[in-house]
């Protein structure tokens, strides 16, 4: 069974974050530049929230607010689900499914060390299933 730490080993532990006082426009630009759907919101190295494209659409665009004048803190989600490096991919899949989130910051000893997305999790599940199928086919034919 694959663990979160294995996913981070494969993808790297890049952390893209923004300060809560920055304008939403900066967050959207950073997400576009990095081709990601969410940013961690961090102040002085501490996780204080997460902001996603969905937050932007619902809390800025649909409400007619200005991206340049609205600070990230006003649209971010403050309650952030996190996982640990030793958590299983299956545990993470259950979290993203049950809680309807797409990104899980990985925290180790109080420090953010990476992020896993629903895409990372689905990829891992597909790879594990393909490997299991290959083993079963070898067993049956061998």
**Long-range contacts made by residues 43-49, C-beta under 8 angstroms, separation at least 24?**
43/19, 45/111, 47/80, 47/82, 47/105, 47/107, 47/112, 48/20, 48/76, 48/78, 49/20, 49/73, 49/76, 49/77, 49/78, 49/80
Position 35 scores a pLDDT of: 94
Nearest to 17 by CA among 69, 92, 80: 80
Statement: the pTM of the whole predicted model exceeds 0.85: yes
Average pLDDT over residues 29-48: 96
15-34 average pLDDT score = 97
Domain ranges of the chain: 4-141
The predicted-structure confidence for 94-128, as pLDDT tens digits, reads as follows 999 999 999 999 999 999 999 999 999 999 999 88
Per CATH, the homologous superfamily of domain 4-141 is CBS-domain (3.10.580.10)
């Amino acid at each position: 069974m694959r663990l979160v730490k294995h996913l981070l080993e494969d993808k790297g532990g890049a952390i893209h974050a923004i300060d809560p006082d920055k304008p939403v426009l900066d967050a959207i630009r950073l997400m576009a530049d990095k081709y990601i759907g969410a940013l961690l919101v961090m102040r002085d190295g501490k996780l204080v929230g997460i902001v996603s494209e969905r937050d932007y659409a619902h809390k800025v665009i649909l409400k007619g607010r200005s991206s340049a004048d609205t600070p990230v803190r006003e649209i971010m989600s403050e309650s952030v689900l996190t996982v640990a490096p030793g958590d299983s991919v299956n545990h993470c899949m259950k979290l993203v499914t049950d809680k309807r989130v797409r990104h899980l910051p990985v925290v180790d000893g109080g420090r953010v060390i990476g992020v896993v997305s629903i895409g990372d999790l689905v990829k891992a599940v597909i790879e594990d299933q393909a490997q299991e199928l290959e083993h079963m086919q070898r067993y049956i034919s061998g």
